[in-house]
Structure formats: structure tokens, C-alpha cells
């Protein structure tokens, strides 16, 4: 199990926490403020309950999404460092990709973001 972060997540590392925060910010379209911490904690709790092979795939998918900008939009930085216009373009490139695996990963991340943000306590 990964080290607990300062933000009360236990499955995700601090880096993965930051990636999910950016995913929630851009895919849901909500302000990037402290209120995004609760959805990340909910996502963490949900993912902890999944079977290990699925948790592993989610973790790998998050890192692929983070490190994909140089390959998919030609920007030499990670997703969490993209400016707003490039981040939106990058997300759109995943949503409209001709490769099914990229579209599936996009939908998975989007669904997890919505699940965390709109779930009730």
C-alpha cells in the first residue's frame, strides 16, 4: 500500500493526488480550490475497495495520462503543468482519439472524477 498523503488519501500517493485534482478541475469544470480535496478522498476510498488488478490499471492509467503530453500534443511537460488551453486540448485529444484504449482511459478518469465530485457522504 502506498504511503498516506498529507491530504488523507491512503491508496494514492501525493503525486497521484495532484493528478486526480487536476483531472477533477478540468473534466468537471469546478474551481481548483480546497473543496476539491473531499472528492479526491472519496475517489481514494472507492478505489481502495476495487480488486487489485483494477487498482493497478487505474494507477498506471493515471501516470500514463500525466506523462502523455509530450507524445500526444507535443508539449514537453506533464499534464499537471499544462496551461489551461493546452490541458483542455490534451483532454479533448483523449476523448476523441482514434485509439479505443485512449478513449476508454479518458472515460474511466472522467467517470472517477464525477463519482468523487458528485457522490454524497
pLDDT of 8 higher than 70? no
* Overall domain count for the chain: 1
Q: For the purposes of burial, counting CB atoms within 10 Å of the CB of 94, is it exposed (0-12), middle (13-18) or buried (19 or more)? A: buried
For residue 17, which of 2, 30, 29, 31 has the smallest C-alpha distance? 2
For the segment 73-101, the average pLDDT, to the nearest whole number, is: 96
pLDDT tens digits, 111-120:
999 999 998 6
Tell me whether residue 74 is in a domain.
yes
Tell me whether residue 54 is in a domain.
yes
For the segment 52-58, the average pLDDT, to the nearest whole number, is: 95
Grouping H, G, I as helix, E, B as strand and the rest as coil, residue 82 is: coil
pLDDT of 27 higher than 50? yes
pLDDT of residue 18: 92
How far is 60 from 101, CA to CA, in rounded Å?
A: 13
pLDDT of residue 120: 62
Grouping H, G, I as helix, E, B as strand and the rest as coil, residue 119 is: coil
Burial 69-93 (b: 16+ CB within 10 A, else e): beeebebeebbbebeeebbeebbee
How far is 84 from 38, CA to CA, in rounded Å?
A: 23
pLDDT of residue 9: 65
Q: Which domain holds residue 79?
A: 14-118
Tell me whether residue 26 is in a domain.
yes
pLDDT tens digits, 35-52:
888 889 999 999 999 999
Tell me whether residue 70 is in a domain.
yes
Amino acid at each position: 500500500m502506498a504511503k498516506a498523503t498529507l491530504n488523507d488519501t491512503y491508496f494514492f500517493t501525493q503525486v497521484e493526488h495532484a493528478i486526480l485534482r487536476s483531472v477533477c478541475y478540468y473534466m468537471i469544470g469546478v474551481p481548483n480550490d480546497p473543496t476539491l480535496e473531499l472528492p479526491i478522498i472519496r475517489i481514494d476510498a472507492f478505489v481502495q475497495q476495487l480488486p487489485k488488478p483494477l487498482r493497478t490499471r487505474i494507477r498506471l492509467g493515471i501516470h500514463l495520462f500525466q506523462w502523455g503530453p509530450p507524445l500526444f500534443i507535443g508539449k514537453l511537460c506533464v499534464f499537471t503543468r499544462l496551461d489551461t488551453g493546452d490541458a483542455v486540448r490534451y483532454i479533448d485529444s483523449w476523448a476523441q482519439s482514434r485509439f479505443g484504449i485512449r478513449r476508454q482511459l479518458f472515460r474511466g478518469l472522467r467517470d472517477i472524477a464525477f463519482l468523487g465530485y458528485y457522490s454524497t457522504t
